[in-house]
Amino acid sequence: MNSAAAVRALQSATRIGCRLAVSGDAEWPLGVDDLGVHAPIALWWRGREESMTAMARSVALVGARAATGYGEHVAMEASAGLVDRGFAIVSGAAYGIDGMVHRAAIASSGVTVAFLAGGLDRFYPSGHDALLTRIVETGAVISELPCGAAPTRWRFLQRNRLIATSSQATVVLEAGHRSGSLNTAGHAAAAGRPLGAVPGPVTSPASAGCHRLLRDFDARCVTNAAEMAELVDVYADTDGGLDGAGADGGDASNPEQLRVLDALSTRSGREVNDIAVRSGLSPVAVITALGALELEGRVRSGEHGWMRCVGARS
């Protein structure tokens, strides 16, 4: 961006009451720092300051744009139920599932935050202009792009990493086999966030992506708000450590071992490079952690890769 474009972006931001947050600010969502070198340099936001800090206890609810009646019903119940339990709702303001979870959160007098793939001076999708205006009044709308930036396909994919890491867990409510929501789920898993998926009718193509997450990516099957809230409790236990132990019984003083355990499945073997991607560690660090965990009887190496032992001792 040249200096003239930067000046125009700042003028537009001032005109619409858009503010800028950088790491260290009170409004900065701490979870995005887990992205390391891929973390945003700054975030533009509009809305209520308390809604920015509310992301410290939040769940990302995402799903298909071409939602079914079933998916929208699940989305409404999940969002309202999590709000009742004191959670903020994070999503992407798209048509379908995203729009429904935002509306349900607002209707339940809760906090909802929307991450956009373009500048905050022109809401997208345009059909959600009224909804996003309402979110600004009661919650917050955020983008890493300055005013004037247009949403593009790759910017939507880039935006998804912010949805996944700003919240403590991600739940895919309804998604086709190649839904963009699976990209958000991948970012959540790579960042070590709990991942949940809502099952649907086995005959419904709109739920094929959720079933894929449950079968191949160790997503946890969740069917209501109470089960979704449990995902955050597991994450808090893993990070904070009750009595010095994480959710998998690992030593909280060795976070690399915990990340490797979280990246492993008890049902299918995984290669070192795959574990490295899922855990966010280098292959060398993964090999070191696996060696220690194998000596403790928590993991084992099989024909198809490494697996977490069922009932592994702490």
Q: What's the predicted TM-score (pTM) here?
A: 0.73
> CA angle at residue 197 from 82 to 256, to 5 degrees?
95
**pLDDT of 241:** 32
265, two tokens:
């499945």
- pLDDT tens digits for 56-96? 999 999 999 999 999 999 999 999 999 999 999 999 999 99
User: Average pLDDT of 176-203?
Assistant: 90
Whether the pLDDT of residue 229 is over 50: the answer is yes
User: What pLDDT sits at residue 8?
Assistant: 78
Per-residue pLDDT at 23 exceeds 70 = yes
| pLDDT value at 36 more than 90 | no
The residue that leads in pLDDT, 277 or 290, is: 290
| Residue ranges covered by each domain of the chain | 3-234, 253-308
Mean pLDDT for the stretch of residues 220-232: 92
pLDDT digits (tens, 9 = 90+) for 256-274: 888 788 788 877 788 998 8
Q: Are 126 and 154 in contact (CB under 8 A)?
A: no
Residue 156 has pLDDT above 70, yes or no: yes
Instruction: Tell me if 3-234 shares its fold with 253-308.
Output: no
For the four alpha carbons of 63, 279, 88 and 243, in that order, the dihedral sign comes to: positive
Distance of alpha carbon 252 from alpha carbon 248, whole angstroms: 10
Average per-residue pLDDT in the chain? 86
Instruction: Say what the pLDDT of residue 57 is.
Output: 92
pLDDT for residue 150: 85
pLDDT at 291: 87
What's the average model confidence in pLDDT over 209-222? 91
d(CA 74, CA 172): 11
Classify domain 253-308 by CATH architecture. Orthogonal Bundle (1.10)
Tens-digit pLDDT profile for residues 95-148 = 999 999 999 999 999 999 999 999 998 899 999 999 999 999 999 999 999 888
**Domain 3-234 belongs to what topology?**
Rossmann fold (3.40.50)
Query: Please, which pLDDT band fits residue 9 given cuts at 50, 70 and 90?
Result: confident
